[in-house]
Amino acid sequence: MSTTVTTPIGNVEPAPKPRTNYLTNGHTLRSWLLTEDHKRIAILYLISVSFFFMLGGSFAGMIRWELTSPAGNILESDAYNRVFTAHGAIMVFLFLLVAVPAVLGNFCLPLMIGAKDLAFPRINLLSWYLYTAAGTLVLISVISGGVDAGWTFYTPYSSLYSNSNVSLCLVGVFIGGFSSITTGVNFIATVHRMRAPGMTWFRMPLFVWAHYATGIIMMLGTPVVAITLLCVIFERTFQLPIFSPELGGDPVLFQHMFWFYSHPAVYIMVLPSFGVISEVITAFSRKRVFGYHFIAFSSLAIAFLGFLVWGHHMFVSSQSMYQGVAFSLITFLLAVPSAIKVFNWTATMWKGNIHLNSPMIYAIGFMGLFLIGGLTGLFLACMGTDVHLTATYFIVAHFHYVMVGGTVMGFLAGLHFWWPKMTGKLFNDNVARWNAIVVFLGFNLTFFPQFILGWLGMPRRYHYYYFAPEYQPFNIMSTLGATVLGVGFIVPVFYLITSLFKGKPAGDNPWGAHGLEWQTTSPPPTENFYYDPIVTDDVYDYDPVAEHEQFLEKQRQLGAHA
Ligand code: HEM
Ligand SMILES: [Cu+2]
């Protein structure tokens, strides 16, 4: 057994279990809106990010609809700019950067290290309010006329020329940045200060390592983008000479500052999912993670190296060839820790007792999609190929493979994995498994054709392509795929919500997984554990044969599918 919870010496009688858990401990709206419980805050985040995901998704639908015809006659060019900007900005700033750390990280991190809460519970609540304020401002900017500068807000267009709601949207993103910084600080302080007795650094679950590394990026990187966006606002408002050549500024400076944050930020999006995948893969292979230390340290390596590669977004923006070579080399280096993770997950599954429950299907899907996303990143890290591919649909395909294939699949894997813990209810795993397969197929049908489109030369951010009607079949495939994918994202809303009312009770540990979070009740009590946990064993200490039998038995009892 790993990570056992034991009663403190001298306290042999188990204390009576209180009747309330974190969900039933107060039913008023006030008790939710003023809560300092990390688990409730995670639920607030879950509701908010789901809303923005659906909203961002509907804009994606409009993009795909427009591109089914080469003539560009559904949306005006101006409207199209606003639609893809809304899609990108909402998805990146209000979903991808937030979903896994703020929902799953918030919920699980304290439980996994045996803490009662995060280190700063009030700041955690503040973080959700900042996020909500950010989301509201972005929403207002989109509804009241829209923003057309693209999610990267490249200057001087965003700073001098655009007459859309750029400033308001940037204020929103700026405030959202503080929400991210506070989350990062909270994770780092919690991991340093709040671990239960016996929870040494190398007994921490890899999910915790991943969130620790993410916290470092959030804390060090986010201030840079916040200042950058503030500079754009100042330039727009007061005509300060920062980025616009007319005023004496430097437009490329913006790109340096933006990508100095935004490349590391792609790892804010995907490192937490790496953590989820490590947990899910061991739990459903009934095997200790292969190369625990390598996976833990690769998270730190990614956090560090991620700050050194921003120039790979700027190979064609006047940077010198020598600079380009350096950025290209370091980018290739950065692929190494990512690859280590994928190899080690594969080795973990090797000769394991694999159970294809829905979280595992999402995790395996994640590995396939992230692999394609990462490998195509190497095409782009290579200056020669990047000159041909940059600003084409190849880029769009690459970052959707990593951001949707990585972050969204990781989020779904984790949400399904911990749903029984969060709600105390089992969902219909059979439906969920089929849905995971639909998501995987829909995803590939949507984004694979975009690699081909990019290779053929279709530029991104155009609302027509009548000059090249041969792009149309691939665009139609992509739109069909997006429709399938849309269904795959909506169905879980139904079976998860249904489970709240009709689901069987989950029990403490429905998957037979290791880790402290599975040793408390589902849903956990407000204080997380009835006893102070003491950790006496290593993490992921699975005994493959015995555990396999136990797992099957447990699933049989629960009437779920093993
Ligand atoms: C092995 C890992 C990766 C490598 C080698 C890599 C490489 C690259 C390169 C060189 C570019 C610039 C291409 C260009 O603009 O011409 C790029 C773009 C991009 N990548 Fe990656 N990448 C990797 C992983 C990721 C991950 C994990 C994410 C997100 C979770 C990501 C998100 C993006 C985004 C958002 C862009 C384009 C941004 C834009 O122009 O709108 N990449 N990648
Ligand atoms: Cu990058």
Instruction: Provide the residues around ligand 2 (an ion) whose CB is within 5 A.
Output: 263
Contact by Cβ (8 Å): 431, 494: no
Q: What are phi and psi of 406, to 5 degrees?
A: -85, -65
Measured in angstroms, how far is the CA atom of residue 311 from the centroid of ligand 2? 8
Ligand 1 binding pocket, CB closer than 6 Å: 152, 266, 269-270, 312-313, 331, 335, 338, 374, 377-378, 380-381, 386, 390, 395, 398-399, 402-403, 406-407
Q: Which residue CA neighbors atom 24 of ligand 1 most closely?
A: 374
pLDDT at 318: 85
pLDDT of 554 above 70:
no
CA nearest 82: which of 471, 485, 476, 463? 463
pLDDT at 12: 45
The angle at the Cα of 507, spanning 502 to 508, to the nearest 5 degrees, equals 140
For 69, 131, 153, 252, 314, the CA distances from 319, given in Å and listed in that order, are: 37, 35, 19, 9, 7
Q: What's the pLDDT tens digit per position in 45-92?
A: 999 999 999 999 999 999 999 999 999 889 999 999 999 999 999 999
pLDDT at 544: 58
Distance of alpha carbon 172 from alpha carbon 302, whole angstroms: 28
Contact by Cβ (8 Å): 360, 280: yes
pLDDT of 407 above 80:
yes
Helices within 29-165 (DSSP H only): 29-33, 38-66, 77-89, 106-112, 121-143
Q: What's the pLDDT tens digit per position in 492-505?
A: 999 999 999 999 99
Q: Which residue CA neighbors atom 16 of ligand 1 most closely?
A: 390
pLDDT at 211: 98
Measured in angstroms, how far is the CA atom of residue 95 from the centroid of ligand 2? 18
Q: Average pLDDT, stretch 19-34?
A: 93
Q: What's the pLDDT tens digit per position in 119-164?
A: 999 999 999 999 999 999 999 999 999 999 999 999 999 999 999 9
Instruction: Among the bound ligands, name the one nearest to the CA of residue 152.
Output: 1
Task: Give 226's Cβ-side CA count (13 Å radius).
Answer: 16
Residue partners of 279: CB distance under 8 A and separation at least 6 = 205, 206, 207, 414, 417, 513, 515
Amino acid at 177: G
Q: What's the pLDDT tens digit per position in 390-400?
A: 999 999 999 99
Residue partners of 437: CB distance under 8 A and separation at least 6 = 361
Residue 315 alpha carbon, nearest atom of ligand 1: 16
Residue 152 alpha carbon, nearest atom of ligand 1: 41
Q: What's the pLDDT tens digit per position in 281-300?
A: 999 999 999 999 999 999 99
pLDDT at 454: 98
Q: Average pLDDT, stretch 347-375?
A: 96
Q: What is the DSSP letter of 519?
A: G
Task: Give 241's Cβ-side CA count (13 Å radius).
Answer: 5
To test the pocket of ligand 1, the residue of 341, 380, 393 to mutate (highest count of ligand atoms within 8 Å of its CB) is 380
Q: What's the pLDDT tens digit per position in 453-512?
A: 999 999 999 999 999 999 999 999 999 999 999 999 999 999 999 999 999 999 999 999
Residue partners of 407: CB distance under 8 A and separation at least 6 = 96, 99, 100, 269, 270, 273
Entry pTM: 0.93
pLDDT at 18: 61
Residue 338 alpha carbon, nearest atom of ligand 1: 1
Instruction: Among the bound ligands, name the one nearest to the CA of residue 332.
Output: 1
H/E stretch holding 382 reads none
Q: Compute the CA torsion angle 330, 335, 336, 337 (nearest 10 deg).
A: 110
pLDDT at 73: 87
To test the pocket of ligand 1, the residue of 274, 299, 399 to mutate (highest count of ligand atoms within 8 Å of its CB) is 399
Look-up of token digits 């690859």: 339
Residue 378 alpha carbon, nearest atom of ligand 1: 5
- The string of DSSP codes covering 84-101 is HHHHHHIIIIIIITTIII
Residue partners of 473: CB distance under 8 A and separation at least 6 = none
Q: What's the pLDDT tens digit per position in 257-266?
A: 999 999 999 9
pLDDT at 10: 39
To test the pocket of ligand 1, the residue of 158, 369, 398, 401 to mutate (highest count of ligand atoms within 8 Å of its CB) is 398
Whole-number CA gyration radius for the chain: 23
Q: What is the DSSP letter of 202?
A: G
Give me the chain's average pLDDT, please.
93
To test the pocket of ligand 1, the residue of 313, 327, 342 to mutate (highest count of ligand atoms within 8 Å of its CB) is 313
Distance of alpha carbon 476 from alpha carbon 199, whole angstroms: 53
Q: Average pLDDT, stretch 340-359?
A: 95
Q: What are phi and psi of 392, to 5 degrees?
A: -110, 180
Distance of alpha carbon 230 from alpha carbon 225, whole angstroms: 8
H/E stretch holding 319 reads none
Higher pLDDT, 545 or 524: 524
pLDDT of 562 above 60:
no
Kindly state the tokens that stand for 444: 């590939």
